[in-house]
Structure 1
Amino acid sequence: MSTPAPPGYQYGDAGLPPSPVTQQDLEKLKASVLFSEADETALHQAWDVLKEQVEDILDVWYGFVGSHEHLVAYFSTPEGQPIQAYLASVRPRFGKWIEDTCMRPYDATWLAYQEEIAVRHTPAKKNQTDHVHSVPLVSLRYLVAFIYPITATIRPFLAAGGHSEEQVDAMHQAWFKSVTLQVALWTHPYAPHAW
């Protein structure tokens, strides 16, 4: 069962432009991270395990971001004061992203929203969705670096479902591949000519 759409969540919005990344580009990326139909199945299984733990996962992730001044800066005023309303408004979309990662088909609609997510980290759209006065750009290096903590910290939650070690490994590897795939897509607006 799908969770309600939080404010600012625009998956499937007809007003979103299509992604400049083609389905053929996506298939090549999927091949590059060894993402297969078995991974899709494992992600669906992962959602069955994760859906009751989303708030706990977000607590871990927010704790990680909040413990690093250089990361919480992206949710702060240009002077460095954290914007609590900004952190609070992003949180349910971050939770919805967990569900989308596990359950959405990786098709043209998904690609369009991946581009929207990406652009929201750049000066083109950063801060607009939540109407805040924050820094204008999330550094690409931290999006890439975030692959590890977002992957490493999900494993205990995947293991909480009572599945075999082999099944947990399959879900975890599928998650790792998907996060890597998505971050690769998010690099597009940062360097479209190098993509």
Structure 2
Amino acid sequence: MSQQLIPGYTYGTHEVPRSPVTIEEFELLKQAVLFTDEDARHLQLSEKVLEDQVEAVLDVWYGFIGSLPQLLYYFTRPDGQADGAYLAAVRKRFAQWIRDTARANYDQSWLDYQYEIGLRHHRTGKNTTDHVNSVANIGFRYLFPLIFPVTITLKPFLAKKGHSAEVVEKMQQAWVKSLLLQITLWSQPYIKPGDF
């Protein structure tokens, strides 16, 4: 699907606010999680590995989210029922997020969009992109725990293209580091001013 056809996907546009985290500060975060150029190369390799598997990956992830009421809750309407249209809209952006993560293009536009993603999880921006009437805020406590199920369920997909076990492991570790970086950035709206 063309990026222009993904509703609410505003990466690289003037609609995205500038991140309060600078590129220099992000470089320090990368150092803290031991993210290297080799990790970036393995993420980029994963893009080729995953390009024809994105929907299958999302089937697994959506199956996981849908199986846990505490996660599905964040996609419900006031009547307590899951909003299928909302889930479908987010899924299109989620597919693009997989591609964007694998590209490992850590420029200002990417950094700004991480801030936007954080705002969309937080009460300051949740529900506005899709114009839905859903739960107003995703609980901070669920952001970091999702790193494990996302990356552990990704590994079998990374192994499907014939790469060695060592290369598959390096791709998965690069994804773990990238998610740690991204979710740290997404956390910014949740943190009191001066504490981030």
Q: Distance in 2 between matches of 1:93 and 1:122?
A: 17
Deviation digits for residues 67-117 of structure 1, max 9, x if unmatched? 000100000013421101000110010000000001141111101000000
Which secondary structure does the structure 1 equivalent of 2:113 belong to? helix
Runs of 4+, deviation exceeding 4 Å: none
Letter aligned with residue 193 of structure 1: G
Q: Distance in 2 between matches of 1:129 and 1:39?
A: 32
Letter aligned with residue 26 of structure 1: F
Between the aligned residues of both structures, percent identity stands at 50
List aligned pairs for 1:44-55, cutoff 5 A: 44-55=44-55
List aligned pairs for 1:100-119, cutoff 5 A: 100-119=100-119
Letter aligned with residue 194 of structure 2: H
Shift of 1:25: 1.2
Q: Distance in 2 between matches of 1:78 and 1:194?
A: 33
Q: Distance in 1 between matches of 2:145 and 2:78?
A: 22
Alignment correspondent of 1:35: 35
Q: Distance in 2 between matches of 1:78 and 1:137?
A: 13
| 1:19 is aligned to 2:19 | yes
Q: Distance in 1 between matches of 2:141 and 2:60?
A: 21
Q: Distance in 2 between matches of 1:190 and 1:124?
A: 10
Q: Distance in 2 between matches of 1:23 and 1:44?
A: 20
List aligned pairs for 1:123-138, cutoff 5 A: 123-138=123-138
Letter aligned with residue 23 of structure 1: I
Task: Report how many aligned residue pairs link the two structures.
Answer: 193
Q: Distance in 2 between matches of 1:79 and 1:184?
A: 32
Shift of 1:193: 2.7
Question: Which TM-score applies when normalising by structure 1?
Answer: 0.96
Q: Distance in 1 between matches of 2:78 and 2:145?
A: 22
List aligned pairs for 1:1-195, cutoff 5 A: 3-5=1-3, 6-191=6-191, 192-195=193-196
- RMSD, matched Cα: 1.0
Contact between 2:11 and 2:110, CA under 8 Å: does it hold in 1?
yes
**Structure 2, unaligned stretches of length 5 or more?**
none
Which secondary structure does the structure 1 equivalent of 2:143 belong to? helix
Shift of 1:16: 1.7
Shift of 1:123: 1.2
Which secondary structure does the structure 1 equivalent of 2:57 belong to? helix
Report the more deviating stretch, 70-79 or 81-90.
70-79
Question: Which TM-score applies when normalising by structure 2?
Answer: 0.96
